[in-house]
Amino acid sequence: MGYCISRIKCAILNNNMEIKVAIFEDNKLVRDALEAILNGTVGYSCCGTFPDGSHWEEKIKRSMPDVVLMDIEMPGKSGIEITQEMHKDFPEIKIVIQTVFNDSDKIFKALCYGASGYILKTDPPQKYLEAITEVYQGGAPINTSIAKKVLGFFANKNVILAMPEDNTYELSSREQEILRHIVTGKSLKEIAASLFISYDTIRTHTKHIYKKLQVASRAEASLKAVQQGLV
């Protein structure tokens, strides 16, 4: 596992803290595997596993997670519906959607409804841990192919966002450089490695970028950057 993730995990351990993760997944094999990975990795713990979204409020109150791994397709309510409700009632909880689908409409809806990021079910365990750590630290992991499809969705719908008169947003040269990497779908860890700067520095720059662009997510930042020619 990369240096940045290891460093974060060490900090969590030193503070006697663990990232508590709840899993909503209808496939028992996948559910059990994720639980074993979390409980077997220092700095993480699985505080609940659930095969569907029924009575999700009670499950969340009982497990009190920091991060939720949410299956996008489950019996009864879909992961997208639960994400919308959970984000409204428990905005402090970070939600990572797990999916095998490359459906732009579903991706767009989940991001709009409050998902902090995406991960593909075909990704290895390390990617899961990195995604959980990144959202816990305020990042927004989105697989590169997913990011491209989100941008494609916006382009096909011809969505136009309001453009300021100067069209600059007062982004520094470093912020513009990081924004270009965000648009390609790179994770914060990958951007830090590419630019040879620390993960924490990337996080700080990203927060400043979001504030200047007046957006709340990677998808919104990417859309604004592409449509308004910022990259």
Q: pLDDT tens-digit profile of 14-32?
A: 445 789 999 999 999 999 9
Q: Which domains are assigned to the chain?
A: 3-141 (3.40.50.2300), 151-227 (1.10.10.10)
Q: What is the pTM of this model?
A: 0.64
The confidence band for 5, taking pLDDT boundaries of 50, 70 and 90, is very low
Question: What's the pLDDT score for residue 50?
Answer: 96
- For position 132, what pLDDT does the model report? 92
Average pLDDT, the chain: 80
The rounded distance, in Å, linking the Cα atoms of 57 and 86 is 8
**What's the pLDDT tens digit per position in 55-83?**
999 999 999 999 999 998 888 888 989 99
Query: Among 107, 93, 111, 106, which Cα is nearest to 57's?
Result: 93
Cα–Cα distances in angstroms (integers) from residue 166 to residues 127, 152, 169, 172, 228, in the given order = 39, 26, 7, 14, 11
* pLDDT for 12: 46
Express each pLDDT in 84-115 by its tens digit.
899 889 988 999 988 876 666 677 778 778 88
Q: Per-residue pLDDT averaged across 192-205, rounded?
A: 90
First-to-last C-alpha distance (Å) of the chain: 31
- The per-residue pLDDT for 16 is 52
